[in-house]
């Protein structure tokens, strides 16, 4: 595949999550934030991929630009924490300041975008990075026993696979419980990076750098039941948009490679997906003796 510098790769790893860059000043009750939209913007990359005369430097630059966070200017941001709820508006540079915030955990929202939780701690200064994104995935499925009967109340967790070398694993884990008919839905899953997905489709190992996660591991647990080998599943978190761009990247690479150097990898497993929803995941648990 096209060579990317280590600096470029690390940039992609750092932008795998959504958020703010936040700083406390004059005590813990004053919060100043730079709000960033980290939703990938593939428009420039698409133009390069469809240009038969585009160069590798143009491709690398467009790929980096796609994942560069952009200030979310003049946008209403809503913070909800406990009984406290309020809105602020970012300025032309994507900044806002809020006074007199209490010590608690806040959920942050912007139109069409989601963020993780922001915890305000009683310290003089704190930096938080939570990149806002509008392309997060949901995963839907069912938990059943070996006879196909639905299991209600089973705990289903979604965890990065492999676990990142650094970072708070708990903050990267999503969980829910299955409904009475055994169905579940887990939301707010970032899609796979398009460059690593392209490598995966070509038969490569998207985790070879050892510093990031590529897959999502779904696992079900229920009292009185154990996994049968089908109580968990590992899958690439892909959307139709990212998959389409990844395939164009591979076509771009093939057009610039000698026929003998082109990679013809077998079909790699992909989950069913539509409209940023991965569906029909089946987790099977066996009743313990």
The per-residue pLDDT for 84 is 77
Residue ranges in the chain modelled with pLDDT below 50: 1-27, 116-117, 122-125, 168
The per-residue pLDDT for 103 is 67
| Sign of CA pseudo-dihedral 205, 211, 213, 219 | positive
Same domain, 121 and 161: no
CA distance 286 to 166: 34
DSSP string, 37-86: E-----HHHHHHHT-TT--HHHHHHHHHHHT--EE-TT-EEEEEETTEEE
Q: Residues 4-16: pLDDT tens digits?
A: 433 333 333 333 3
Same domain, 117 and 190: no
Same domain, 129 and 244: no
SS3 state of residue 232: strand
Number of domains in the chain: 2
Question: Closest by alpha carbon to 118, among 22, 16, 24, 186?
Answer: 22
CA distance 186 to 176: 6
Domain that holds residue 96: 1-134
The per-residue pLDDT for 158 is 94
Q: Which of 107, 134, 161 is the last residue of a domain?
A: 134
The per-residue pLDDT for 260 is 54
The per-residue pLDDT for 4 is 41
Same domain, 16 and 118: yes
Q: Which of 106, 134, 162 is the last residue of a domain?
A: 134
Q: At what angle do helices 56-66 and 194-201 cross, to 10 degrees?
A: 120
The per-residue pLDDT for 240 is 95
The per-residue pLDDT for 170 is 52
Q: Residues 225-263: pLDDT tens digits?
A: 987 778 899 999 999 999 999 999 999 988 887 765 666
Q: Which of 134, 157, 175 is the last residue of a domain?
A: 134
């Amino acid at each position: 595949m096209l060579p990317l510098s280590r600096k470029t790769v690390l940039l992609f790893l750092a932008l795998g999550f959504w958020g703010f860059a936040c700083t406390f000043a004059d005590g813990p009750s004053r919060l100043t934030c730079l709000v960033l939209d980290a939703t990938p913007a593939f428009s420039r990359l698409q133009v390069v991929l469809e240009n038969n005369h585009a160069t590798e430097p143009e491709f690398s630059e467009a790929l980096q630009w796609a994942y560069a966070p952009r200030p979310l200017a003049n946008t209403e941001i809503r913070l909800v924490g406990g009984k406290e709820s309020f809105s602020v508006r970012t300025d032309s540079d994507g900044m806002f300041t809020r006074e007199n915030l209490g010590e608690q955990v806040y959920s942050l929202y912007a139109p069409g975008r989601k963020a993780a939780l922001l915890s305000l701690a009683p310290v003089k200064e704190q930096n938080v990075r939570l990149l806002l994104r509008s392309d997060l995935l949901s995963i839907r499925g069912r938990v059943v026993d070996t006879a196909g009967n639905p299991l209600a109340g089973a705990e289903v967790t979604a965890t990065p696979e492999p676990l990142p070398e650094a970072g708070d694993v708990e903050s990267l884990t999503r969980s829910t419980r299955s409904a009475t008919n055994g169905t579940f839905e887990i939301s707010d899953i970032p899609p796979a990076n398009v460059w690593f997905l392209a490598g995966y489709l070509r038969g490569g190992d998207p985790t070879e750098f050892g510093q990031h996660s590529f897959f999502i591991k779904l696992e079900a647990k229920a009292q009185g039941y154990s996994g049968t080998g089908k109580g968990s599943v590992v899958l690439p978190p892909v959307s139709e948009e990212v998959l389409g761009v990844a395939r164009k990247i591979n076509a771009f690479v093939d057009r610039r490679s000698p026929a003998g150097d082109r990679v013809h990898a077998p079909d790699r497993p992909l989950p069913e997906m539509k409209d940023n929803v991965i569906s029909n995941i089946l987790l099977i648990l066996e009743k313990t003796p």
